[in-house]
Amino acid sequence: MKEYLVCHSTVSGGNFNATAVTKVEKLLDSHNFVNKVDLLVRGSDLEQIKSDVQAQMKLKKILGEANLSQLLGFLLRLNVEQRSALKLVTLDKDITHDNSICVTKGNLTLKLRSDSYLKSGLQCKLSAFSRGNKNLKSQMYIHNFDMLNFENNVKLNRKNEIRLLWYAENVSVDVFKFTLTSESDNIDTQLVPKLEEEGITLLGNREVESRVFRYNQVLHPDLTITKDEDTLAETLEWLSYASIGGLQLRQEVDPFISRYPTMLESSKRSDFAVLSIDKTLISSKVQKLVFSHVSSRLDWFALFSYGVKNVSRSYNSAGEHYFVDDGANDIVVFSQEGKYALWEITDSGDPH
């Protein structure tokens, strides 16, 4: 299927075969920081996948607070495999004007305000968000550190690695609230003890489970997957409404509040269900397990992967994610009777 641009989104699709499954799995794997996943299924299909999917969606939510020196110490306590599997993002910093960090696939991205950058001695790039900004005091700078080879680079006297350690120990005054997850099943046994060894304050360590929402007699258009751009846009709009249980799809709504039901050229009613998990970082491994489970059992489903907006790296690319509109970096895959459509929805400031 040809790709079209629809509202900062790219849609592709075709036959839902092994090649398509691999394509979706690679995309999910490249999506760095996800904090909400929804699975939309037919009401009649819920029971056959509910228990397994809910088991896969049972996650740990780890919250901590640390300075930059402690976070570096924590990372350096991990072996290479653990660093590669770790995902960590700051929660209380705005990437447009605060110092912030994120860690994914063995890389630490540090974003600094102009004043912090000048004090650090680091060699960083001007943030894409600051290009064209002639006010030097409000500019932001960014650099990506390879944490898989960090110690070797220090031994080789690489200036940026040495300066980072010095800056963290002697200059940085930031305290970061953060959350983390791992692509490995080692959070409680390996990561949490390392946090405690480094003296990092744990603000939370609890299980998060998915929730189930049932929506009966939901109004919907013809959802047959086609190559028509307008039809695909309408399908995405309906899927988005359905995933949040939009009131206008389930009962009569004052037309002055929403005209959506009257805009559907053809429609009928069916029962649907949504399994949803949010408020924690969700690993690519979990998303791929859920996707693999339903794609091998159901001929109709939609999976939504919502990315963290306030983060400097949305996907595994050299490009920087930054705000222009709303910071969106989301994936929606819809499978129906041997066909699929895949939407990649991004802020216009996202390089993906």
Average pLDDT over residues 296-324: 91
Based on the domain organization, do 17 and 88 belong to the same domain? no
Residue-range definition of the domain harbouring residue 35: 4-58+209-346
Is the CA virtual torsion 115, 64, 196, 88 positive or negative?
negative
Residue 319: predicted pLDDT: 85
Residue 266: predicted pLDDT: 61
Among 208, 227, 262, which residue terminates a domain? Answer: 208
Q: CA 240 to CA 30: how far, in whole Å?
A: 22
pLDDT band at 118 (very low <50, low <70, confident <90, very high): very high
Based on the domain organization, do 198 and 232 belong to the same domain? no
Model pLDDT for residues 286-302, shown as the tens digit of each residue: 999 999 999 999 999 99
Based on the domain organization, do 190 and 296 belong to the same domain? no
b (16+ CB within 10 A) / e for 8-34: bbebebbebeeebbebbbebbbebbbb
Domain count, the chain: 2
Checking DSSP bridges between strand 107-113 and strand 100-104, what pairing results, if any?
Answer: antiparallel
Based on the domain organization, do 73 and 159 belong to the same domain? yes
Is the CA virtual torsion 9, 265, 304, 294 positive or negative?
negative
Based on the domain organization, do 188 and 75 belong to the same domain? yes
Residue 264: predicted pLDDT: 66
pLDDT of residue 9 exceeding 90, the answer is no
Average pLDDT over residues 193-215: 96
Based on the domain organization, do 215 and 176 belong to the same domain? no
pLDDT band at 3 (very low <50, low <70, confident <90, very high): very low
- What lies within 8 Å, CB to CB, of 303 at 6+ separation is 37, 38, 39, 40, 287, 290, 291, 294, 331, 332, 333
Please tell me the number of Cα atoms within 13 Å of 188 on its side-chain side: 7
Q: CA 342 to CA 239: how far, in whole Å?
A: 12
Q: CA 254 to CA 157: how far, in whole Å?
A: 68
Residue 142 lies in a domain: yes
pLDDT of residue 308 exceeding 80, the answer is yes
Based on the domain organization, do 282 and 184 belong to the same domain? no
Based on the domain organization, do 193 and 133 belong to the same domain? yes
Among 171, 192, 208, which residue terminates a domain? Answer: 208
Residue 185 lies in a domain: yes
Based on the domain organization, do 261 and 307 belong to the same domain? yes
Q: Token pair of 336, please?
A: 């129906």
How high is the mean pLDDT of the chain?
92
pLDDT of residue 254 exceeding 80, the answer is no
